[in-house]
Structure 1
């Protein structure tokens, strides 16, 4: 987002929320893939607490309460447009509707590129508002499908974006194919921001904007190799801005470490409701209602993340289980099964990495014997990884291999393990493989099972 200093995107509406409200410098997802990340937002829980909902393309058990239902029970009008909780099966979990609420996707438009959805998000928000009762409080989930892949290749450059504005991270070669791919991604971020602006304009025209709590964030990092679905800083730390004109002093940047599990408790408290017993997160209300910035609450100095099975395609379609702790200085990563391939097996096309020109280029270079960048994105990893984030935000140098950092590594693992035990993580109870046995409800034509049985359809990238 532009508010963080990025010039290759045009995000005036996010930037407005950040300028007039709060820009969070250290907001973290719990699990870097769409469905489990969104499950944490909705439930206020770590994904390892949520059984099938920890997995991508899994089932969302209705025994876990979600904040839209809690607000609806309190009299709120609720709904969503675009992508709610997905991908997965909420009906099999016992929900009568998507966990994000009733869907409003009936209004369509003609998108500017083939990669952009035809859902008219702003018109659907208007339809949602038309159905609420007079003076009824509302809660709306705008789940923009952009910038999810796929993209129209070259659309960013054709729209006037400049390759020279892109400075690639060091885990990629300095290549125009990747830079152009980034600009295609940026164009869809711009589209998201344009739709956000239309929604803000509607609220302003109705006189509702200053009374409405607005949080804008993502669900995982960029859909590029080594980022989306992986466990490094560039996927776990996400943009987030918050605005509530009549309640929250604006013009602030907050550096406290906050987690997606803190959002549901925040929304529930903002509605005047008591916290639900299942919440693992803590409301942000005291922090955001203060007039402080920088470091505000001293005990918000660490967050915890994890993943289990994302997309099938590892050997025997099992999970690549990981747990992490991020402090103000370090990111510690525990890979429970380092013998597996973290991005999916080579035989099945590294299925935990979205197809893209960037992926194609890196694998082409690998086939030609250029392996440095390949290993950073697709190679196997050590059981323990430790990164000093202030000096190494790209997570290139694994300090866990340096004996000098053994005390730090031990301390962080003990702290992480303590929280995992407290929150009932099956990985600390000797039954972590339960995640491998939960049903995968997505397309299995690119699975290890399909590969072994001869009906495999390799993804194109």
Structure 2
């Protein structure tokens, strides 16, 4: 009780000091940068100086997860502080967002903040489709221009985006930049080959380029005298764009780097195991700014954790985190717009995944997909994907191919401590039946409480919503649909 009271007082003090002088916010979000690709997580190859500095001067989260491992729903969840499945069309890639869902950027603007964004922030999709008159993250411009032109008497919130390390990559850039291919850790769901090591090195090259951008933004804040009063968050929207990563609910798709710096208001050099969700970002920013958090936001403010840089007592800390997915790309057989719906619950030890329509293909069909990429269209093109497909006839490669592209059972269970790459499904083992039952009950209860239409008996429309990418309409017309 004494510790709980202390934490409450610290949080209140932090909030009160913020009200006296509202903090600036710099939200740095990479595109397809996933865990564990930062030095702070033990990666021996990644070069992440900006992230490392923020970790030295702030709080690093070791267990941060997205709401959905796909660009648009992940970003929608960040903006609204809500789980992706609560956002109707916004649960899918290349979708939209209804203005009726409170948006932390606009709420901050209403509270006196200047807002803006650079490069990839919200999306992709059509934000005007359901009534937005302007970009959901405010005006778009380079960060230095925004800082130069802003009203210095007002606090600001800026969404600092990028398209790194999204594919395509220039082949060989990683090796040319000096990344040691021999030291790269190849996940257990790939064969260990020079081609795949080189592909991962090219990804590292773009991660480093992103870090240089963030470092430059921090230097600008320092020159302007704004660094110490700015909350800086650095993270990525989901896992790396490789097979069994991006678009998947395993840690390599759903877990992300996350660090928060806020001058002296957040202790330096701390690491926490608190389960952090992307739905927690909006309420954290709003509370720090002294702005009321809407009841519709399902996330919880991280200020109580940030105020001490320590994990909360077990009674106040989430024992699990929930996330999932609907349609990434229309990767099933033409002309279907069906997605691959799945939900997951992650505890310290276990990952349980429910594949809600297991007769569909998790990465899409091998031929004849609605999406113009055609072959396994839910997985970005690249040398790793091509290697698995080209060498399918090799029995040693075939097992990796199946892990990445084959149909999956309705239920998957992984022991994340014994099997960190999550390749050994234990769901069918009798000795783990009680674990499956317990986790399933907790997951379904959470989904019902948070109004997931797939678990509340409501009409489910995720597969019927438009895929708002112009190239798809043109492609389907060319094929007679």
1:382 deviates by 0.6
1:454 aligned residue: 479
Pairing partner for 1:24 from 61, 65, 87: 61
Q: Deviations over 1:67-123 (max 9, x none)?
A: 00000000001001010111111011211222122111xxxxxxxxxxxxxxxxxxx
Distance (Å, rounded) in 1 between the aligned partners of 2:110 and 2:202: 41
2:9 aligned residue: none
1:245 deviates by 1.1
2:414 aligned residue: 387
1:454 deviates by 3.2
Aligned residues of 1:324 and 1:332 also touching (Cα < 8 A): yes
Aligned residues of 1:287 and 1:296 also touching (Cα < 8 A): no
SS of 1:85's partner is: coil
1:358 deviates by 0.6
1:336 aligned residue: 356
Matched, 1:222 2:259: no
Distance (Å, rounded) in 2 between the aligned partners of 1:444 and 1:340: 24
1:296 deviates by 7.3
Matched, 1:360 2:386: yes
Q: Residues 381 and 295 of structure 1: is their aligned pair in 2 closer, same or farther, counting only changes over 3 Å?
A: farther
Q: Deviations over 1:188-246 (max 9, x none)?
A: 00000001000000111111111111110000101000000011111111100000013
2:304 aligned residue: 286
Q: Residues 202 and 296 of structure 1: is their aligned pair in 2 closer, same or farther, counting only changes over 3 Å?
A: farther
1:253 deviates by 0.4
Matched, 1:168 2:172: no
1:134 deviates by 2.5
1:118 aligned residue: none
Matched, 1:318 2:355: no
Distance (Å, rounded) in 2 between the aligned partners of 1:172 and 1:154: 19
Distance (Å, rounded) in 1 between the aligned partners of 2:254 and 2:462: 21
SS of 1:240's partner is: strand
SS of 2:64's partner is: strand
2:347 aligned residue: 327
1:445 deviates by 4.5
2:450 aligned residue: 423
1:200 aligned residue: 218
Pairing partner for 1:271 from 280, 289, 292: 289
SS of 2:339's partner is: coil
2:200 aligned residue: 182
2:264 aligned residue: 246
- Residue range with higher mean Cα deviation, 353-362 or 286-295: 286-295
1:121 aligned residue: none
Q: Residues 239 and 432 of structure 1: is their aligned pair in 2 closer, same or farther, counting only changes over 3 Å?
A: farther
SS of 1:59's partner is: coil
2:124 aligned residue: 87
Aligned residues of 1:35 and 1:57 also touching (Cα < 8 A): yes
Distance (Å, rounded) in 1 between the aligned partners of 2:465 and 2:473: 18
Q: Residues 296 and 218 of structure 1: is their aligned pair in 2 closer, same or farther, counting only changes over 3 Å?
A: farther
Distance (Å, rounded) in 1 between the aligned partners of 2:470 and 2:366: 18
Distance (Å, rounded) in 1 between the aligned partners of 2:130 and 2:260: 31
Unaligned runs of 5+ in 2: 1-37, 368-373
Unaligned runs of 5+ in 1: 105-123, 457-461
Aligned residues of 1:254 and 1:296 also touching (Cα < 8 A): no
Distance (Å, rounded) in 2 between the aligned partners of 1:307 and 1:431: 17
1:419 deviates by 1.2
Distance (Å, rounded) in 1 between the aligned partners of 2:441 and 2:302: 26
Q: Deviations over 1:125-147 (max 9, x none)?
A: 11101222132100011111110
Pairing partner for 2:137 from 100, 105, 109: 100
Aligned residues of 2:85 and 2:91 also touching (Cα < 8 A): yes
Matched, 1:237 2:263: no
Q: Deviations over 1:246-291 (max 9, x none)?
A: 3111211000111010000000000001111210011011111125
Distance (Å, rounded) in 1 between the aligned partners of 2:410 and 2:442: 17
1:446 deviates by 9.7
Aligned residues of 1:32 and 1:235 also touching (Cα < 8 A): yes
Aligned residues of 2:305 and 2:312 also touching (Cα < 8 A): no
Distance (Å, rounded) in 1 between the aligned partners of 2:105 and 2:233: 15
SS of 1:386's partner is: strand
Distance (Å, rounded) in 1 between the aligned partners of 2:311 and 2:109: 33
Aligned residues of 1:35 and 1:88 also touching (Cα < 8 A): yes
Q: Residues 368 and 404 of structure 1: is their aligned pair in 2 closer, same or farther, counting only changes over 3 Å?
A: closer
Q: Deviations over 1:363-416 (max 9, x none)?
A: 111155641111010010010001111111111111111011111111111111
What TM-score do the two structures reach when normalised by structure 2?
Answer: 0.87
Distance (Å, rounded) in 1 between the aligned partners of 2:242 and 2:309: 37
1:442 deviates by 1.5
Distance (Å, rounded) in 2 between the aligned partners of 1:365 and 1:147: 26
SS of 1:282's partner is: coil
SS of 2:463's partner is: helix
SS of 2:340's partner is: coil
Distance (Å, rounded) in 1 between the aligned partners of 2:225 and 2:277: 31
Aligned residues of 1:29 and 1:305 also touching (Cα < 8 A): yes
Pairing partner for 1:257 from 264, 272, 275: 275
What TM-score do the two structures reach when normalised by structure 1?
Answer: 0.91
SS of 2:130's partner is: coil
1:69 aligned residue: 106
- Residue range with higher mean Cα deviation, 362-371 or 329-338: 362-371
